[in-house]
Structure 1
Amino acid sequence: MSLLARSTRGITLAHVRHVTPVPPGRATGTVARVYHDMEREFGMLAPPIALHAPAPDALAGAWVVFRETMLPSVAASRAAKETVAAAVSLANRCPYCVDVHGATLDGLTTGGDARALAAGRLGEMTDPAMRALARWARRDGGPVPFPGSGAQLPELVATAVVFAYLNRMVNVFLRDSPLPPLTGLAAGLARRGAARVMGRLARGRARPGASLGLLPGPAAAGPAWAAGQPHIAGALAGATAALETAAEPHVAAPVRAVVSGLLDGGAAGPWNGGAAGPWNGGAAAGPWNDGGAVASLPAALRPAGRLAMLTALASYRVTDAVVEEARSSGLNDAGLVRLTAWASWSAARRTGAELASVR
Structure 2
Amino acid sequence: MSIRHVTPLTRRTATGRVAQVYAQSAADFGQPAFMMVSPAPDLHAAAWALLRESELVGRAPRAEKEVTAVAVSQANGCRFCVDAHTILVHATGEHQLAEDLLHDRPLTEPRFARIAAWAKATRTPGAAESRSAPFPTEVAAEFIGTALSTHFINRMFSTLTDERLIPGNLQRSHSVRRMGGITYARTVRRELAPGESLELLTGIPRGLTPDWAAGTPIGEAFATLRGAAAAGAALLSAPGRDLLAATVADWDGGHPSAAWLDQRLAGLSPGDRPAAGLALLAALAPHELTDARVERWRATGSTTDADLVLLLGFGAITAVERIESAIAGAR
Of residues 91, 110, 113, the one that matches 1:128 is: 110
User: Is residue 83 of structure 2 the alignment partner of residue 96 of structure 1?
Assistant: no
Of residues 52, 76, 85, the one that matches 2:37 is: 52
Name 2:220's counterpart in structure 1: 234
Q: Decide whether aligned partners of structure 1 residues 182 and 69 sit closer, same or farther in structure 2, where only a CA change above 3 A counts.
A: closer
Q: Decide whether aligned partners of structure 1 residues 230 and 181 sit closer, same or farther in structure 2, where only a CA change above 3 A counts.
A: same
Determine if contact 1:34/1:60 at 8 Å carries over to the other structure.
yes
Could you tell me which amino acid in structure 1 is paired with residue 12 of structure 2? G
Could you tell me which amino acid in structure 2 is paired with residue 73 of structure 1? G
Name 1:21's counterpart in structure 2: 8
* 1:262-273 to 2 correspondences below 5 Å: 262-267=247-252, 269-270=253-254
The CA deviation at 1:151 is 1.2
SS of alignment partner, residue 31 of structure 2? coil
Could you tell me which amino acid in structure 1 is paired with residue 120 of structure 2? R
The CA deviation at 1:95 is 0.4
Name 1:6's counterpart in structure 2: none
Q: Decide whether aligned partners of structure 1 residues 353 and 322 sit closer, same or farther in structure 2, where only a CA change above 3 A counts.
A: same
Could you tell me which amino acid in structure 1 is paired with residue 317 of structure 2? W
Task: Name the TM-score, length of structure 1 as normaliser.
Answer: 0.84
Determine if contact 1:212/1:235 at 8 Å carries over to the other structure.
yes
Could you tell me which amino acid in structure 1 is paired with residue 217 of structure 2? H
Of residues 93, 103, 106, the one that matches 1:109 is: 93
SS of alignment partner, residue 213 of structure 1? helix
Name 1:225's counterpart in structure 2: 212
Whichever structure has more helix as a proportion of its residues is: 2
The CA deviation at 1:60 is 1.6
User: Is residue 248 of structure 2 the alignment partner of residue 251 of structure 1?
Assistant: no
Name 2:325's counterpart in structure 1: 353
SS of alignment partner, residue 169 of structure 1? helix
Determine if contact 1:160/1:351 at 8 Å carries over to the other structure.
no
Determine if contact 1:18/1:173 at 8 Å carries over to the other structure.
yes
User: Is residue 275 of structure 2 the alignment partner of residue 301 of structure 1?
Assistant: no
Long gaps (5+) in structure 2: none
After superposition, give the CA deviation of every residue in 1:143-183 in whole Å (9 maximum; x if it has no partner): 31211111121110111100110000000111222123257
Q: Decide whether aligned partners of structure 1 residues 84 and 33 sit closer, same or farther in structure 2, where only a CA change above 3 A counts.
A: same
SS of alignment partner, residue 154 of structure 1? helix
After superposition, give the CA deviation of every residue in 1:178-214 in whole Å (9 maximum; x if it has no partner): 1232579x82222222222233322222211112132
Name 1:192's counterpart in structure 2: 178
Of residues 280, 284, 298, the one that matches 1:313 is: 284
After superposition, give the CA deviation of every residue in 1:206-244 in whole Å (9 maximum; x if it has no partner): 2111121322365554111122x5111111111211221
Aligned equivalents of 2:251 and 2:55: distance in 1? 28
Q: Decide whether aligned partners of structure 1 residues 138 and 30 sit closer, same or farther in structure 2, where only a CA change above 3 A counts.
A: same
Determine if contact 1:300/1:329 at 8 Å carries over to the other structure.
yes
Q: Decide whether aligned partners of structure 1 residues 157 and 329 sit closer, same or farther in structure 2, where only a CA change above 3 A counts.
A: same
Aligned equivalents of 1:217 and 1:59: distance in 2? 11
